[in-house]
Chains A and B, each alone.
Chain A
């Protein structure tokens, strides 16, 4: 029996299809994600990025129904931003403001907070992560890993319930990746992460393997990851 509480804390796709440029990017997907840590894998062009963009309304499905913790992403990404935080692959594509404090305040002001309160909250989250000295810093003076941390904090400060990460570590060195993973591990949010680093996903609760817009495999990392690895390994002579 499904408990009502569980019902609202899940991401549900019901026969969802997405067509772009006359090709089916996603084909009739039905699943329910109620685990805390969900990894999405698949070869380039399998539809991973499109799938996660449906969750916060950046893309709208051509057919089917989506529910994210009881909300429908059809209201659009602006309204969904209170519920779903989105971390993009390249920090340079999502950092809009020149200073850390402005970057962190931006989402809060959009949520209707006053400038003053936004600033206080921004400073508070920096202090919480021992980065108080970053507030006045110019973002272009930070390293890639530090920039990605700013992106994560800029989303966390908005207190979303789901965090989506689209290959967040692909440009980072191993140490930085581990440090950011420690941070992600400590978060109470539900996490949906696309990654090509299989090691990162080993501790996750569930893995979806996408192939040509369909779910090819769905299970625990122990079930799915070795097969994914083997399928790719065949191409190495």
Chain B
């Protein structure tokens, strides 16, 4: 199954997940007031060096920027029009740095560790009688299944084009929704069949419809 995690070991894999997330949080606050284009450019360079230090497979992951490029271009144009090209460049660079660093954390952190790291953040939910572990599990599952859903879209597009479909990709929204719901049913069954997550106390019956 596809996953964002990269097994290729590196020094970044060894850092505690909490430290990586905290670092990203700190950086995103610190970068906010930076108005120096050179400094921001340097940050992007630093980010790219970080990718390089993790190894070739990480550098290949930079390709995630390709589908984002039109979006960045659009933001840049809009911002140039409203606040000028310097602010526009700053904004786009800042976004690039943060997205790339966040992606790097996802690539080098095991789901287990990610879950333990973010569980304390949801501690206040205990007040509402919601188990923080369950929410943390849901969040990590979400990260985990992003590439799976991307693959589902890919398959649907192939099936669409194989029968002569034109570029009206939005029509895939409904089959994608159906497939996602089916997928989540399968995952729920698999979770339940291996004891669910340890905090589920009352058994719930799957809604999956076997043939």
Contacts and interface: CB of A to CB of B under 8 A. Distances in A.
Interface of A: 20-21, 44-45, 49-50, 53, 56-60, 75-79, 81-82, 85-86, 88, 90-99, 102, 105-107, 109-112, 115, 136-141, 147, 154-155, 158
B107 to A, nearest CB: 10
A78 B194 CA distance: 7
A75 B203 CA distance: 7
Interface stretch (B5-13, B63-71, B122-130): B5-13
A154 B194 CA distance: 9
Given A86-B193, A88-B193, A107-B195, 15 more contacts: A49-B211, A53-B210, A58-B192, A58-B205, A59-B205, A77-B203, A81-B193, A85-B193, A94-B187, A94-B193, A96-B190, A96-B191, A140-B3, A147-B1, A155-B194
Greatest chain B CB density within 10 A among A78, A115, A141 is at A78
Contacts of B208: 58
Nearest to A138: B7
Contacts of B197: 110
Contacts of B189: 58, 77, 88, 93-94
B195 A78 contact: yes
17 contacts: A20-B209, A21-B209, A76-B192, A76-B202, A78-B192, A81-B192, A85-B193, A93-B183, A93-B186, A98-B4, A98-B111, A136-B9, A138-B7, A139-B3, A154-B194, A155-B194, A158-B194
B117 to A, nearest CB: 14
B7 A78 contact: no
A186 B192 CA distance: 26
Given A77-B206, A139-B3, A58 B193 contact: yes
B139 interface: no
A88 B3 contact: no
Most buried by B among A58, A98, A105, A155: A98
Contacts of A109: 198
B196 interface: yes
Contacts of B186: 88, 90, 93-94
Contacts of A102: 110-112
B78 interface: no
